[in-house]
Amino acid sequence: MIGLEIHVQLKTKSKMFCSCDNTGEDKAANTTICPVCMGHPGTLPVPNAEAVHLGVLAALALNLNVNLHSKFDRKNYFYPDLPKGYQISQYDEPLAGEGEFEVEVGGETHQIGIERLHLEEDTAKLLHQGVSTLVDFNRAGTPLMEIVTKPTIVSPAEAKAFLQELRLTMRYLGVSDADMEKGHLRCDANISLRPKGDTKLYPKIEVKNLNSFRAVDRALAYEVERQTKLWEAGTPPTEQSTRGWDEKKGITQEQRVKEAVNDYRYFPEPDIPPLELTAEQLEQWRSELPELPAVRRNRFTKEFGLSEKDASYLTEVQDLGDAVEQVVVVLAAELEGDTKAAAKLTANWLVHKLAAIVTELGRPLTPLPFSVAQFADFLALVARREVNSTNAQVLLRRMVETGKDPNTILKEEDLSQGGGEELAQVVARVLAVYPEQALQFKSGKEALLKFFVGAIMKETKGKVDPQVAEAELKRLIAT
């Protein structure tokens, strides 16, 4: 039985309860602080309206019930990273709760139960240096959203898939960058085992220090194995405890016995009145929701006819997915309105051929090395067969290297294939060189088709598309 507690840093300009700059991670230590986020006596916190807005957007995207009435509470505990001696959070009346979020694992759809989503402030950052520890308070007061799932996740793979889809959803919403390496998205995992057929929950083990999706997967797999051995030995866990994940050793290690809720002595925050939202506000914010990753992924496979692999990749890398959408609109006109053909052509050249070229040149694929309009122009040349497949790859490489327009490169480097009268003349010339074979082909010897196409390709130095050469050859033979 696995449950996750996920903290997501919100992408606001200022902190949760004061006007301090919320980009302190990029600033010198202890420079984006004020008496409010440092908890000085006599200061009053004021909730960040944009943080509430982003929290509601996330709740709606996760299919949670947003509470029109919620409140803040004080969570009391003492630690060097907590300047006030308590954290302003939400306890019994959170911003949202009770919902299910759908994820796909191994081709199967799973419903992940979510218990709650609440807002709170982040703590300071501890910097350990040998036997000393320094405190950087820039992060203290950063807006956080905590999402708590129900303990119904049944495998490490399912937990990993949920986190990956959650991160992507937060990015699509613009709520957070959700970068685990930078601590924008942090996860603790609770796990317990129980005998098959049993319905009660046994003491959970909370696993901390999970700073990557791989770590979540590996740590939970380790805990399944460790706790299974304890059950088989007749000594299952009898109390809640916290363990830390050691990435180098690939094991979890006990840290402390887990605190109970009453250890935090929650009570309503006396300096902040309850949050009161209206149904009208809720509907306005619901209308702001963008197309979510799962919807786009499904549309790319159904409407565009892309493979599940390509659809997933273009959904994951949002900028590339956006580029495909824009190119398809232009390219479909070249293909008599065939959206699927346009999408497949675009995805093939983008995901496979362009990706291979930029990798070879040691460049990133995002952002695109040229404009979307230039890419659309290039694909239009391919669709109109004005350049064959071989020369098209040369042309695309030159576009990456020079940034020039594809039509300009086509003329400068003479990459276009001959057509019309020019191609007809080439084919007639080849037929004249091989009159005996031409008669045999005309009388029905299809095996000579490849022979003539090869000769035409040699004559044009590979510039002509083989299919175009074949069509022109058949036309002339028939006349």
Cα–Cα distance measured from residue 160 to residue 164, given in angstroms and rounded to the nearest whole number:
6
Cα of 396 vs its chain's centroid, Å: 27
Fold of 421-478: Arc Repressor Mutant, subunit A (1.10.10)
* Residue carrying structure tokens 């959408």: 325
- Which pLDDT does position 440 carry in this prediction? 83
Sketch the domain layout of the chain as residue ranges.
2-154+165-176+192-200+260-286, 293-412, 421-478
Q: pLDDT by residue (tens digit) across 161-207?
A: 999 999 999 999 999 999 998 999 999 999 999 999 999 999 999 99
Contact 64, 99 (CB under 8 A): yes
- Which pLDDT does position 259 carry in this prediction? 63
**Quick one: which of 106, 121, 134, 114 has its CA closest to 58?**
114
Residue 346: how many other CB atoms lie within 10 Å: 26
Residues of 150-182 as b/e, b for ≥16 C-beta within 10 angstroms?
bbbbebbebbbbbbebbbbbbbbbebbebebee
- Which pLDDT does position 479 carry in this prediction? 66
Average pLDDT, 10 consecutive residues per value, the chain (479 residues)? 97 98 95 96 96 98 98 95 95 96 91 97 94 96 98 95 97 96 94 94 93 95 97 94 94 80 90 97 97 96 96 96 95 91 96 95 94 95 84 92 92 67 74 83 82 80 72 75
